[in-house]
Amino acid sequence: MSGVLLETVGLSRRFAVGRRAAGGKRASMLHAGDDVNLRVHAGESVGLVGESGCGKSTLVRLVSRLLDPSEGAIVFRERDIGAVPAAQFAAHPERGKIQMVFQDPTDSLNPRYSAADTIAEPMRLLRGARGDLAIAVRALADAVGLAPELLARFPHQLSGGQKARVGIARALASEPDLLILDEPTSALDVSVQAIILQLLARLRRERGLAYLFVSHDLNVVRLLCDRVVVMYLGRVVESGPAAEVFAHPRHPYTRALVSAIPGGTANLAGGRIRLSGEVRSPIDPDPAVCRFYGRCMQGAPRCGAEMPLLREPVAGHAVACHFDR
Amino acid sequence: MSATLRHIRYVLSENLVTLGAFALFTAFVLLAVLGPIVAPYDPLATDTARAMQPPSAAHWFGTDALGRDILSRIIIATRLDFGIAVAAVALSFVFGIALGLAAGFFGGWWDRIILRLADTIMAFPLFVLAMGIVAALGNSVANIVYATAIINLPFYIRVARAEANVRRNAGFVEAARLAGNGDWRILSHHIFPNILPPAMVQVSLNMGWAILNAAGLSFIGLGVRPPTPEWGIMVAEGATYIISGEWWVAFFPGMVLMLAVFCFNLLGDGLRDIIDPRRRT
């Protein structure tokens, strides 16, 4: 594992919600990402986990430069790419080096493009390839296990797994260093999921790619990822080596997550943890209250008065909790 | 290319109504192109000795008050009526789709200004607006085309805006950004081809409407002037004779007008099936 490929520093994104109140009062802000510091090394696979609405997708869109951050920097290969507006990033020299595989393979393919058109487009636009790309497209299709006779087909003529392969081939077409995978298998049949995951693992091995892997499925993250980052309501609550985090989760939220893995309770003392209480609102959250307070089984008055910061009690394993032993 | 042809053949063989509409459309286009060759008589030649003859073997659709052959006049008029409709619809398609795409895709001020423009046009009774435009700009075929184009503009703006707005945040548009597409390429390569099917249906429906509009303007004496053969004028000329029993003078041009509008309306569905790739199997 060599140098740092991607680093986000204090990355935040807020969305205005509702109407601006009369009298010049600022509109309410939904905090989708708050002060996120994330690091991906070259060739490393980092898993991003957390429940729905915790800001994973926002973070992924910020890093893939589809969305502009409210605050903070995104440093990719020692260049601050966060300052380039998303609308202009298509022409940026690093565009081809960060690519993404989308969650929904159907929605993410242009219905009027054949599979070959879809795969060839980034080659033309991002690598300046000219002329007939049939050979290059065929080679890439072969690498993702897409039969050459399917290349002339349109998305509605392909199965879910085939569409997922087209999406992966498109993401690889510009020869990226970092591949962002936004729940790449969640829209697929269970039987196809495993095949696509094996394909992703093989492609990473063969091409030395770094992955930022977003998933609900903790078992998948444990198998595929070197490190794991746990998010809760827009903030990182724990990060560390995958094996370490799954074996010895330090944050109460991570402990609850890990205890909920089917067949995974044996690893953990205390058995399955059931969370009660309501998720706090992400709209204008109190900066002095822990985001997990109210649902946390360890919650104490201090959690309602002071936001716990991310500390690193063990080198490489960070956690944001007052009660970390 | 051969796949496209095969698909067209498939759609036509599946749907006999569409096939009929296409046949009718082809007949009209042939008449428009070959009119002067096909027409049995000179459409302008008057002969008072043959005035007001009912349909016969020599004059299938009869003759009018000046003894002109109605069939020949109808055939010659096809080129003018279709020309006006095609030019007007092409103009409103190009400008309406471009404005609608900008409104739906960029949003914000673009959206507000363009939508208000469309609303302003829609606020008038459209035929009265067309009359006003022709009256103000002057009585010419070009001005009928402009007037018809302007009153059709809002329909294209609305179709393109609604479709672009839905697709602006579609996954494939985000994916296109990642593949290195800038705004203009996303609009032209990714969004525009996907709004073609609904836009083509609009074109087809509009065509019939544009023909009616041009004929209507001529009927009330705006635009095309006699003795030029034009369906609207011919209906207007014949209308005075219906009471006295000479029904054929207004009936045949009116019938052809109805057939043309009917043909374009039927064509709409067929066109959508041909253009939308999701119907391909």
Strands A235-241 vs A317-319: parallel, antiparallel or unpaired: antiparallel
* Residue B140: per-residue pLDDT: 86
Residues of B with CB under 8 A from a CB of A: 170-172, 174-183, 185, 190, 193-194, 277-278, 280
Label residue B62 exposed, middle or buried (CB < 10 Å: 0-12, 13-18, 19+): buried
- Is the preceding omega at residue B227 within 30 degrees of 0, hence cis? yes
pLDDT of residue A141: 92
More confidently predicted of A240 and B5: A240
How many angstroms away from the CA of B281 is the closest CA of chain A? 8
Say what percent of chain A tops pLDDT 70: 94
d(CA B99, CA B22): 30
Comparing A29-38, A136-145, B4-13, B76-85, which segment has the lowest mean pLDDT? B4-13
Q: Which of A134-138, A141-145, B46-50 is the least confident region?
A: B46-50
Task: From A173, A179, A185, select the one nearest A105 (Cα to Cα).
Answer: A185
> What is the pLDDT, as a whole number, of residue A202?
92
Q: What is the pLDDT of residues B226-278, one digit of tens each?
A: 788 888 888 888 888 888 878 888 888 889 999 998 888 888 777 777 776 56
Task: Find the radius of gyration of the CA atoms of chain B.
Answer: 22
Query: What length is written for chain B?
Result: 281
Q: Rounded CA gap, B224 and B144, in Å? A: 8
Separation of alpha carbons A134 and B114, rounded Å: 42
CB atoms within 10 A of CB B55: 16
Q: Where are the domains of chain B?
A: 25-51+59-166+195-272
Residue B144's nearest CA partner among B254, B228, B76 is: B228
Does the beta-carbon distance from A95 to B178 stay under 8 Å? yes
pLDDT at B238: 82
Q: Per-residue pLDDT for A134 more than 50?
A: yes
Interface residue ranges in chain A relative to chain B, Cβ cutoff 8 Å: 64, 66, 86-87, 89-91, 95-96, 99-100, 102-104, 107-112, 121-122, 125-126, 154, 156-157, 167, 170-171, 173-174
Secondary-structure class of domain B25-51+59-166+195-272 per CATH? mainly alpha
What is the distance in angstroms between the CA of the first residue and the CA of the last residue of chain B?
A: 15
Residue B281 confidence (pLDDT): 46
What's the CA dihedral at A156, A161, A165, A170 to 10 degrees? 40
DSSP string, A76-88: ETTEE-TTS-GGG
Could you give the CA distance from residue A155 to residue A162 in angstroms, rounded to a whole number? 9
What does the mean pLDDT of chain A come to?
86
Percentage of residues of chain A with pLDDT beyond 90: 32
Q: A129 or B154: which carries more pLDDT confidence?
A: B154
Binary contact (B177, A99; C-beta < 8 A): no
The pLDDT assigned to B180 comes to 87
The DSSP secondary structure of B174-215, one letter per residue, reads HHHHHTT--HHHIIIIIIHHHHHHHHHHHHHHHHHHHHHHHH
E strand segments, chain B: none
Which chain B residues are Cβ-neighbours of A103 within 8 angstroms?
171
The amino acid at residue A77 is R
Residues of B in contact with A167 (CB under 8 A): 175
pLDDT attached to residue B4:
73
Output phi, psi for A81, to 5 deg: -95, -5
pLDDT value at A231 more than 70: yes
Q: Mention every residue, 6+ apart, whose C-beta is less than 8 A from residue B14.
A: none
Burial of A172 (0-12, 13-18, 19+ CB in 10 A): buried
Instruction: Reply yes or no on whether the pLDDT at A109 is more than 90.
Output: yes
Nearest to A215 by CA among A290, A103, A76: A103
Mutate to test the interface with B, among A84, A110, A157 (most CBs of B within 10 A): A110
If you ran DSSP here, which 8-state letter would residue A90 be given? G
Q: What is the pLDDT of residue A91?
A: 86
Burial of B103 per CB tally in 10 Å (0-12, 13-18, 19+): buried
**Chain B neighbors of A111, CB-CB under 8 A:** 172, 194, 277-278
pLDDT for B196? 86
Work out the pLDDT band at B115, boundaries 50, 70, 90.
very high
Share of chain B above pLDDT 70, in %: 97
Q: Describe the strand order of the beta sheet including A4-17 as a list of residue ranges.
A: A28-41, A4-17, A71-76, A79-80
pLDDT at B93 over 90: yes
Question: B90 pLDDT band (50/70/90 cuts)?
Answer: very high
> Helix A134-143 and helix A115-127: axis angle, to 10°?
110
Position A189 confidence tier, pLDDT thresholds 50, 70, 90: confident
Q: How far apart are CA B248 and CA B236, in angstroms?
A: 12
How many Cβ atoms sit within 10 Å of the Cβ of residue A36?
A: 24
Give the model's pLDDT for residue A264: 57
pLDDT in tens, B126-157: 888 998 999 899 888 889 999 999 999 999 99
CB contact under 8 A, B178 and A125: no
Please state, rounded to an integer, the average pLDDT across all residues of chain B. 85
Asked if B170's CB is within 8 angstroms of A125's CB, the reply is: no
Residue B87 pLDDT > 90: yes
> Percent of chain B beyond pLDDT 90?
22
Q: For residue B73, give the amino acid letter.
A: R
Residues of chain B in contact with residue A92, where contact means CB-CB under 8 angstroms, are: none
Chain A residues with CB inside 8 Å of B177's CB? 66, 86, 89-90
State the alpha helices, DSSP H only, in A74-150: 115-127, 134-143
Per residue in B60-71, pLDDT (tens digit) is 787 877 878 888
3-class SS at A249?
Answer: coil
Q: How far apart are CA A6 and CA B109, in angstroms?
A: 36
pLDDT of residue A1: 43
Of B179 and A300, the one with more pLDDT: B179
Mention every residue, 6+ apart, whose C-beta is less than 8 A from residue A90: A125, B177, B180, B181, B182
Average pLDDT over every residue of A279-296: 84
The better pLDDT of the pair B160, A271 is held by B160
Residue A107 to residue B180, Cβ atoms within 8 A: no
Nearest to A110 among B176, B177, B182 (CB): B176
Chain A CB contacts of B179 below 8 Å? 121-122, 125-126, 170, 173-174
Average pLDDT over residues A224-229: 92
Which residues of chain A are within 8 Å of residue B185 when distances are taken between CB atoms? 125
What was the pLDDT predicted at A126? 87
pLDDT attached to residue B149: 93
Mean pLDDT of A297-325: 83
**CA dist A225 → A171, A195, B162 (Å):** 19, 17, 42
Question: Per residue in A38-89, pLDDT tens?
Answer: 899 998 999 999 888 888 888 999 999 998 999 889 999 888 888 888 888 8
pLDDT surpassing 90 at residue A312: no
Q: For position A22, what pLDDT does the model report?
A: 54
Question: Which of B181, B190, B280 is nearest residue A90 as measured by Cβ atoms?
Answer: B181
Tens digit of pLDDT for each residue in B195-205?
888 888 888 88
DSSP-assigned beta bridge partners for residue A45: A211
